[in-house]
Structures are given as structure tokens and as C-alpha cells.
Chain A
Amino acid sequence: MSQDPHRSAEMAEITSEPGLEKTQFRYRRLRKYSILLTSLVALTPLIAMTIINIYQYQKALKADMLFPILRQVSNTRHSLSSFIVERQSALELVIREIPFEELRDQERLAGALSHMKESFGGFVDLGIIDSKGDQVSYVGPYNLAGKNYRDQDWFHEVGLRGVHVSDVFMGHRGFPHFVIAVVHGLGEGDYYVLRATIDSDMLYRKILTQNLRPTSDAFLVNKSGILQTPSRFYGAALEQCSIAMPSYSTNSEVVELKDSGGKPYFLSYAYIEDTPFILMETIQPESFMENWLTVRNNLIWFLSISVILILMVIVWGSYHMVGRIREADLKRATVLHQIEYTNKMASIGRVAAGVAHEINNPMAIINENAGMVKDILSVSESFPLRDKMQKHVDSILTSVERCSRITHRLLGFAKRMDPHIEEIDLDQLLKDVLGFIGKEALHRNITVNCEVPGDMPKIKSDKGQLQQVLLNILNNGIEAVGNGGRIDISAEPKGDRRVEITISDDGPGISRNDLDRIFEPFFTTKKEHGTGLGLSITYGIVQKLGGQISVKSSLGAGTSFTVALPIENSAIRG
């Protein structure tokens, strides 16, 4: 068809094209924001909750594990403290109950030592030292009788505080022990001291009574960090312990430390009151860590899978949602465009009708006057230029007739028709229409192929007007294709409510600019003849029949018109 084209449905795409890139950017940005915001809102609480959870869990697990450790250290400290206090009390009892003179007696002192060994254990020797520092009496395995302690620190301390517990030291026989000394006054500022050496192995055995895990350790140190008992991992007795001294506390404490390899462990400690000893217990947190790591790994797994799932849903949702918005926007743009186009056609129609009306009357006057001239000429045989005149008048009358046809069609286009609705067999209708053009098609060797499926539903519409529509489109097609061209007609149902008739040709096609104007009145590409009304009238009729007409074309490949019609014509637009 010489005028073919893309139309209504296609128009939205054509017109939205210049802003296409901008529009796409807008939707991309919308999608980006939607994903970002939703992710932020959904993931932030989840991640925060998981972190809090991990922290709380860690805290609870630690408390769970540390409580028994603390209790154990407290118990051990208590029993060590009792051990020392017991012996100190025994010494105080001896010094208070047995007079100085009796204690100076070697045998009496030996009796006391033997009693204490029996009752308490751990006592190695016993000595009496007067206020000048001279050991006046001694029983025990060492030869210490007569030794003077006046210049030793512990002697001064015991003089001041009344009692002294010494650090552990290595005795002459090569086993570690410590000293407890108590003072008793003799009146008038004079006093004497009862000094006992105690096997520090007893302390160690006390510590060992608690069941230690293979990776744990327990031992005593003094305030300078010298090991007072042997240890598993930190050296033998009297060696320097590698653990830094913890700060003083009256209670049992637990601190988390790192060893030289950076591995964390717990140190539980307690200062044993009135002694130089500090009880220390170290625990490798492996079992604790094992539990903890499982819990933490589970939590992290859960978090990761949740985050991935949520992100997938969010991304899918955003794509889906933005896609829907985009579709809706496009649909709205198309509808707006169609409304705009329909309005434009309607107003052009009104203007055209007005113009046609106004022109029709002067046209009638010209007609009558030219007719009059013709009438006069017909009786004036002697008129010299009669034949020439006759020719010109005929030309005027022919032109009036042509004008009349134009105004007739224009008014027809604008006219409000009352369609006459009847049931139509499309196959039969197409055959009728093809009957009109068959001769010309045959003459010009144009192949016309018409395919209508057997189950094509009958439609309710105006037969005459539909014939007019199809004829207009077919005539366009026949004019468009050259000799030997081809026209395909097909009809098919679209869903339950519509049918589509498509008429395609293999003509030269229509440029996009022409396509946009193809249904406008007076738009024509046929230079010699053609009023430019055919397709605009076709468009008007299809609209009135409640259908749509659209057109697609590509230059060089041909053009195809599609007329969509309702099967039940309930909404004929008059």
C-alpha cells in the first residue's frame, strides 16, 4: 500500500523513543534504590541481632565455664589457708601453754614436735629463739642450735607482727619447705619466738587433690613470681614463673590471657591471706572453645544463608516490581497517545465537516449556473463558439461533481452513522470483497491469498461498513504492490472476545514519518489522484465498530494492516 504504516499500538513506541535512554536510566535507578533500601531495612536488624546473639552467647558460655573454675580455686585457697592457719594455731597453742623455761628444754620441745607431727603432719623441726635472735633450743634434722637470726628480715617482721609465714626455700636436705614463726611476750618488752619448718610438699599435695584436666595446671607462686610448688607447664619449684603477677584482690578472680604463642587461656588466681602465697590455676579454653565455635559457626551459617535468600528475594522482587511499573507506564503512555490521536481525528473530522458544508452551497450555485449556461447553449445553435463553450461548461460541471464527491466523503467521515448490526461470516465477507477487486488483481497478475480458519466465530458488526473498511485497505494494497505482487489476508480469533483480520502486502513499505500520519484526513502519497480520505474514513469506521486498526511497515519489505474487531458488538460508538 502506498500509504501503510505503523499505527496506534506502535505509536507509543515510536513517540517514546527519544526519551528511551533516559527512561531506562530512571528505571535502573529506581531498581537500585529499591534493592538498596529494602536490603538495608531487612538485613540491618538481622545482622545486628546475630551479632548481639553471638556476643550474649559467648558471655553466657564463658560465665557457665568460669563459675566452676572460680569455685574450685576458692575451695583450694580455703583449704590451703586452713592448712597454714591450723599449723600457726598449733604453734600459738604450744608457745602460750608451755612456759618458756620448759620449752628451752630440748626434750620437752622434742615432745611438742612429735605431738604436732602426729596431730597435724608436715612439721619438720621446731626452734626457740630469744629476743636477741639466738636460737636457744632446736629439735629437728638440721644442726641449727645456736644460730643467730638477729639480722634476718623475717625475725624483725615476726617481732613486729607477731607471726610470720615465709616463702618456700630449699633446705639443707634438698626438699622445699617454708617457715611459720610465732611470738610470745615475756613481759617488759622481752619476748621469744617459736619457729617451725614445714614441708611445702604438703601444700602441693593439697593442690593436687583437685582433679585437673590434662591441659590445666595449678600451683603456688610468691609475690615475686617464684614458683612455690612444682607446676606442669611453668617450671619446677623455686623457678621464676612466666606469668605476670595479677593485681591484688581479696576474692578469687579469673582473667583471660594469651600465652607466648598468642593462644588464649584463662588464669584463675587467689591471694592467700597473711601468707606470701598466691594460688594460680590455668585452663586452656579448648573444650569451651569447641562448643563456642560450633555455636558461632552455626549462627554464621544461618546468617549467611538468610542474607543470601533475602537478597535473592529482594532482587527478584525489585526486578519484578520495577518491571510491572514500567509495563504500567508504557500501557498508560499508549492509552494516552491513543486518546490524543482519537481526539485529534475527531476534531479534524469536525473541521472537515464544517468546511464541506460551507463549500457545498456555493458548489450547488456553480452547478446550477453552469447547468443554466449549458441549457442555453443547447438551444443556441447559431452561437459561434458553441462547441468550445460547451466543452468548458462540461469541465466546470465535472469539477463540481469531483468537489461534490470530496465533500460527500468528508461528510461521510464525520457523519454519525447508526451501524446496522448483523451476524457476519468473515469468510463469506472476505470472499465478497475479493469479488470486487478480483478482476484488477487478475489483470495485474497480483496473487491474493486468503486464509480463514474453519472454526472462525461469526461476529456481530455492520456488514456494509466492514466491506468498506476491507475494500479501502485492499485497494491501498493493490495500488502499493507492483504487477506480480502479492497480498496475504488472514483472520484469526484473539481470545474469546476479538478477532483479527490482517492484510499484508509485499509493496515498497512506508517511511516512519508517513506512518505517523497515515490515518489523518487529506494525507496522501498518491500525487495525481487520491483524496487522502480513504484510510481516515477506514479508521473512523473501525472506531465506530468498536475495533482498532493498526499498521506495521518496513521500507522495502511491505506493509501489514491489522483490524481487530469485537465478536459481540455491544459497544458500537455512534
Chain B
Amino acid sequence: MSPLRILVVDDEEELVFTLAERLQFRGFDAVGVSSGAEAIRASDAGEFDVVVLDVKMPGMSGLETMQAIKRSRPVTRIILMTGHGSLQDGEEGLALGAFDYLVKPVNIDMLVAKINAAMGTAG
């Protein structure tokens, strides 16, 4: 079975690439991008199973990006990352079709668990 393809999106480049690398370390095929627009392009180009998406980004917001990705590839599972002040964004994201959300800074084990859960439910 080929590894799950994960797209990590966050405007903080230092964060996004490290997080992608850590996921790779755990056996995922993870790629990091640093904006919503890049994320949409990447999603269209490669078929990602799970997109880990920061809610708060300059330019295109996480929720907008999520909606665009969902439109072109409805099967993609989305896990949102929110700041503490924006739990509401997380709840809102769930309402808009996100699979789950995490509060930053994320605990890597919890993220892995949620990715597995997302794919598990997807079958």
C-alpha cells in the first residue's frame, strides 16, 4: 500500500516545511506549501488524501481554500489548524465540511491520529 499523500498549508514557511518533514518521518508522503493559492494548485496537480490547513492566512483564508479544494476534489479530507482565539473558526470549519480541527501548536501524535482517523472513516 502506497503511503498517504498529505498536503500541509501554513503561511509560516518554517513551520510548514518542518511539519511536512516530520510527517514524512512518520511514513507519510507529505508536502508543504505556504499559501492558499499554492495549496489549490498543488491539490489540483497531485491527488492528496488529506490536507492539513491553517485557518488564518494572509490572502486567501484557510476556510476559502478548503471550500475551493472541496469543490474540485470532494473526497479530500481536510484537517484545520486554529489559533486559541479562534476555536469558533474550527467549529465553523466543521460545519463547512472539514473533518476535524486542531489547536496550534499541534501535537504531532495527535495530528497523526487524526489523519489516520480521517482515512479510516473514508475507508
Taking beta carbons and an 8 Å cutoff, which residues of A are in contact with B?
Answer: 353, 356-357, 360-361, 363-369, 371-372, 375, 400, 404, 407-408, 411-412, 414-415
Contact = CB atoms under 8 A, between A and B. Distances in A.
B84 interface: yes
Given A364-B105, A371-B22, A407 B84 contact: yes
Given A357-B83, A364-B12, A364-B106, 8 more contacts: A353-B85, A357-B85, A361-B104, A367-B105, A372-B18, A375-B22, A375-B25, A414-B85
Contact of B12 (A365, A372, A415): A365
Given A360-B84, A363-B105, A404-B105, A372 B21 contact: yes
A426 B108 CA distance: 41
B62 to A, nearest CB: 14
A29 to B, nearest CB: 54
* Max count, chain B CB within 10 A of own CB: residue among A360, A365, A404, A411: A365
B15 interface: yes
Given A360-B105, A361-B12, A368 B84 contact: no
Contacts of B14: 365, 368-369
Contact of B19 (A356, A368, A412, A414): A368
14 contacts: A357-B83, A360-B83, A360-B84, A360-B105, A361-B12, A363-B105, A365-B12, A367-B105, A368-B15, A368-B19, A371-B18, A372-B18, A411-B83, A411-B85
B85 A369 contact: no
Interface string B5-49: 000000010110011011001000000000000000000000000
Interface of B: 12, 14-15, 18-19, 21-22, 25, 83-85, 87, 103-106, 108
A510 B42 CA distance: 60
B19 to A, nearest CB: 5
Contacts of A365: 12, 14-15, 18
Q: What secondary structure prevails in chain A residues at the interface with B?
A: helix
A353 B85 CA distance: 8
Contacts of A411: 83-85
A308 to B, nearest CB: 71
Contacts of A361: 12, 15, 83, 104
A366 B18 CA distance: 10
B85 A415 contact: yes
B56 to A, nearest CB: 9
A238 to B, nearest CB: 129
Nearest to A415: B85
A43 B85 CA distance: 71
A372 B84 CA distance: 23
Nearest to B20: A368
Contacts of A366: 105
Contacts of B85: 353, 356-357, 411, 414-415
A408 B84 CA distance: 6
A400 B106 CA distance: 11
Contacts of A400: 105
A351 to B, nearest CB: 13
A388 B97 CA distance: 45
B5 to A, nearest CB: 20
B83 A372 contact: no
B83 A371 contact: no
A420 to B, nearest CB: 14
A368 B104 CA distance: 10
A26 to B, nearest CB: 48
Nearest to B103: A408
A120 B83 CA distance: 143
A415 B85 CA distance: 6
* Max count, chain A CB within 10 A of own CB: residue among B19, B105, B108: B105
